[in-house]
Amino acid sequence: MSALLHLAGMSIKLLVRRTPGFNGGFDEDGERGGAARGEEGNGSSGRQRQSMQPSARGPRAPRIRLAAANCWGGKGGAAMIQIPEYTVEPRVDVAPSTTALLIVDMQNDFVNREGRLCVPGAGNTVPVIAGLLAAARGHGMPVIYTQDWHEPDDPEGALWGLHAEAGTWGAEIVPELAPRAGDLVLRKVRYDGFYGTPLEHELHRRRIDTLIIVGTVSNICVLHTAGSAALRWFRVIVPVDAVSALTEFDQHATFRQIAFLYHGTLVRGSGIVVRAR
Ligand code: ZN
């Protein structure tokens, strides 16, 4: 079947491959026969199908992929989409008593050129983050770090290769942003800084209602942590020049999600003003 989504000036055609026998929740228009189109041009379909084999008794899962429509380049062409608008505020005032600076995964493996999963733009964010760190410390604002932390047999190693290995140089916070006594450093095993950590408890304990979230990778640990914070009703502020991604698309997608979905505030680092109310 096919469905055309209209998203703020952008049209994307979704083709859903329906495996015979599956009768799940993707039958809005009742159209059949999408399977053939869903197979076209997808060189990895065999591997994907393999990975989505259902259990012996369960239904087969539908497979969804994006296909050429409107501004998409067609078969084999580069995809071009229009980025929905988001607003970067010129200035945001925050109160140090109810705001925390959350620094996500600024560790050697992600930031240093010698790191195992270096994000090329991460180094450029260090001075911005350092400026925010100095402002936070100058005003007594809580500073919290997340630290990706994996044992050698961690399942994330199969996804990305072993990184941020427990106890290694790669897992250390970069020296320019090193934690000090009194800062909170939370080791985490997944993208979401709330997952398996006491972050939520520690924020409530400090009467924090607003998070300035910086670090890397924008669309992975930053976005998951920002989303998780917003779902818990924390106000989220993300300085656009203090987060880094592997691609421009990932960066824009992050900002779009934070602004649109999580009602967060985007601002440049220099636009954050810390002052007591
Ligand atoms: Zn990891």
Domains of the chain in start order, with CATH, are: 1-85 (no CATH), 92-274 (3.40.50.850)
76 burial level (CB within 10 Å; 0-12, 13-18, 19+): exposed
Rounded to the nearest angstrom, the distance between the alpha carbon of 43 and the centre of ligand 1 is 28
- Name the pTM for this structure: 0.74
> Which residue is associated with the tokens 């180094």?
123
Q: What is the pLDDT of residues 173-196, one digit of tens each?
A: 999 999 999 999 999 999 999 999
How far is the centre of ligand 1, averaged over its atoms, from the C-alpha of 191 (Å)?
A: 7
Residue 7: pLDDT band by 50, 70, 90 thresholds? very low
CA of 38 to the centre of ligand 1 (A): 32
71 part of the active site = no
Catalytic one among 105, 109, 154, 241?
Answer: 105
Question: Is it the case that residue 32 has pLDDT exceeding 70?
Answer: no
Q: Tens digits of per-residue pLDDT, 99-138?
A: 999 999 999 999 999 999 999 999 999 999 999 999 999 9
Does residue 105 carry a catalytic annotation? yes
145 CA from centroid of ligand 1 (Å): 14
